[in-house]
Structure 1
Amino acid sequence: MSEENSNMLLGVRDKPPALNWVLLAIQHVCAMFGATILVPIVVNTTAGADVLSIPVALVSSGLGTLIYLICTRGRSPVYLGSSFAFIAPMIAGYAIAGKASVFTALMIVGLVYVIISLIIRISGKAWINRLLPPVIVGPMIMVIGLSLAPTAISEIGLDLDIIPWQNLIVALIAFLTTAFLAVRGKGILRVIPFLVGIIVGYIVAALLGMVDFTSVMAAQVIAVPEFYLPFMHYDLNFAAILTIVPIALVTMVEHIGDHKVLSEIIGRDLIEDPGLDRTLLGDGLATFLAAFLGGPANTTYGENTSVVGMTRVASVYVIGLAAIIAIVFAFSGHLTALLTAIPAPVLGGISVLLYGFICVNGLKILIHNQVDFNNTKNVVVAATMLVLGLGGATLSVASGDLSIAISGMSLAAIVGIILNLCIPEEKHE
């Protein structure tokens, strides 16, 4: 047994027996699978084009996790998957300048992580709390969740004059299944409510004749994912960069929070060992590689942290095997076709909860950190961010042939940081 918490059945560097190893890894795959594939599905549905590929997202997730494990020297049992924080920015970036610009911006996100990890190694991490206090991070996460709300409504069809009754039934069943398992589920089922909700909704939709299995029948057993190589077909668009890259500041805080939670579970401070510089480096290189291949940005997955807590197994060998299994799944043509055929109402029912959960997580940050909204400065910062982020504000600057636009969440984040740094603290009589 390694030096981790004595409550852990297997420590970080312990290797489980072969059969248990596989079973534990499969649990981690189930935990990450629903969320990881949901990101490309939502982005493509909302954008009305194939911006992201499900198989590439799975490969990116697996390879990114392996890179993370290497960067942290096998000292941190974290799984990386597709980040929900970048859904709306990727859709906006695609609308601004196309797919190539999105992947270029995401590669820069990875580089930002790497640069910040180097700064932390040199100067420490105290400045992060100064730059990104809870009053900035909380509203930013709320904006991320609420800005996606219209997508869920559209997928169900609640924005139509006449809503097909099949849509309502399928969305409601997917919603209720997910909600029930999130509240009352036991064991692994409580960790994967979104995956089970998708499966149940999918089955009901198929029984109602809403699924076309033609592409599934025609799919190949083994299919190589359609990797995208931005270094060959990239587009450096500053408007897309300014739309996507600032979100890295928010996901960096999410990264720190997830590692703190996992630290409590395994009984060792991961921020100190292997160190925040190494964990951010791993996350940044993983995101860079994901974008290089044409996948979404990576982030630490709380679902897999929950699996570690539930199974009391923190072995990085299990995490590594789960990453390899995810990569293997990406080469299954039938699996890809099945996932692509998921009806929109299924996703809509799931997304009502999912986007709401994201928003509430931002609210929980404000509550947990006891942000004082009797302090007018905090009210000004949070209120401004919410209005700019949800109101669709855009700030454009043009000079000759060069045009740069900052909009939505990115504008809210930048303005929030500036306001928090520049507005003096309130003085009471």
Structure 2
Amino acid sequence: MSQAGGFWNWKIILIGAQMLFVAFGAMVLMPLLTGLDPSVALFTAGLGTLLFQWITRRSIPVFLASSFVFVAPISHGVQQWGVPATMGALFCTAVVYVILGALVKWRGPGFLHRLMPPVVTGPIIMVIGLSLAPTAVNFAMGMSGNGELQMFPYADALLVSMVSLLTTMLVATLGHGLFRLLPILCGVMAGYLTALAMGMVDFSGVSQSSWL
């Protein structure tokens, strides 16, 4: 393999690793927020990712995960009709996705752009992000997502979260070459190393686990 080919493979691996970190948090947090089983989300996301990579012949370094678009309807569905009915509705949503995918393959993405132009999709994404902001703030202050449990001291958690945030922002704006493509991965690594140095990382679960 040529040097350029090797570099490209490492580049794809690092970008894929960043996508994994980004998607994993969303994948676990979404079922926790909605009352569903995170294990089911993990299994289906892994299966879906393998299927996606097989269909696209590994052309896109993407890890499929949960979508926050469905947080409100899933939460309402679980409270109103229970988990089984909500899972059935999600299955129907998946069928609609497959139909839309077939339409895009047949007619191209033009009709989707006309149906949902940026002036529509932009505010929707903003509303989703703003609705999840309290959860992110609680995590940054060392609390659980709903703010009911204080998991780490406020000052320690805030220091780790700010190191992660500033590292991400600096790499995104000042980074060059490969690093400019990996701001979130750099932020995760900086935050983890800071938490490790402050004694906030607990390895007891790993040391007590069996190899298989």
- Could you tell me how far 1:144 is from its partner in structure 2? 1.7
| Aligned counterpart in structure 1 of residue 30 of structure 2, from 43, 46, 58 | 43
Q: Which amino acid letter does the alignment assign opposite residue 34 of structure 1?
A: F
| Aligned counterpart in structure 1 of residue 126 of structure 2, from 142, 147, 157 | 142
Q: Distance in 2 between matches of 1:91 and 1:122?
A: 32
Match of 1:202 in 2: 192
Native 8 Å contact 2:174 2:180 kept in 1: yes
Greater per-residue strand proportion: 1
Q: Which amino acid letter does the alignment assign opposite residue 198 of structure 1?
A: V
Q: Are residues 58 and 27 of structure 1, via their aligned partners in 2, closer, same or farther at CA, if it must alter by over 3 Å?
A: farther
Structure 2: where are the runs of 5+ without partners? Answer: none
- Could you tell me how far 1:215 is from its partner in structure 2? 0.8
Q: CA-to-partner distance for each residue in 1:199-229, whole Å, 9 max, x for gaps?
A: 221222232222221111123444xxxxxxx
Does structure 1 residue 30 correspond to structure 2 residue 17?
yes
- Could you tell me how far 1:172 is from its partner in structure 2? 0.9
Q: Distance in 1 between matches of 2:203 and 2:168?
A: 24
Match of 1:240 in 2: none
Does structure 1 residue 188 correspond to structure 2 residue 178?
yes
| Aligned counterpart in structure 1 of residue 62 of structure 2, from 56, 62, 80 | 80
Match of 2:139 in 1: 155
Match of 1:165 in 2: 155
Higher RCO structure (Cα 8 Å, ≥6 apart): 1
Q: Which amino acid letter does the alignment assign opposite residue 156 of structure 2?
A: Q
Over the aligned positions, Cα root-mean-square deviation in angstroms equals: 3.6
- Could you tell me how far 1:157 is from its partner in structure 2? 2.7
Q: When the two structures are aligned, how many residues end up with a matched partner?
A: 200
Match of 2:208 in 1: 218
- Could you tell me how far 1:136 is from its partner in structure 2? 1.5
SS in 1 for 2:38: coil
- Could you tell me how far 1:61 is from its partner in structure 2? 5.4
Match of 1:417 in 2: none
Q: Which amino acid letter does the alignment assign opposite residue 78 of structure 1?
A: I
SS in 2 for 1:82: coil
Match of 1:56 in 2: 43
Show the 5 A alignment for 1:111-126. 111-120=95-104, 126=110
Native 8 Å contact 1:31 1:191 kept in 2: no
Q: Which amino acid letter does the alignment assign opposite residue 183 of structure 2?
A: P
Identity %, equivalent residues: 27
Greater per-residue helix proportion: 2
Q: Are residues 44 and 178 of structure 1, via their aligned partners in 2, closer, same or farther at CA, if it must alter by over 3 Å?
A: farther
Show the 5 A alignment for 1:10-409. 20=6, 23-43=10-30, 46=33, 50-51=37-38, 56=43, 59-60=46-47, 62-69=49-56, 74=57, 77-83=59-65, 86-87=67-68, 89-90=70-71, 93-94=74-75, 96-97=77-78, 100=84, 103-120=87-104, 126-157=110-141, 164-222=154-212
Q: Which has the larger radius of gyration?
A: 1
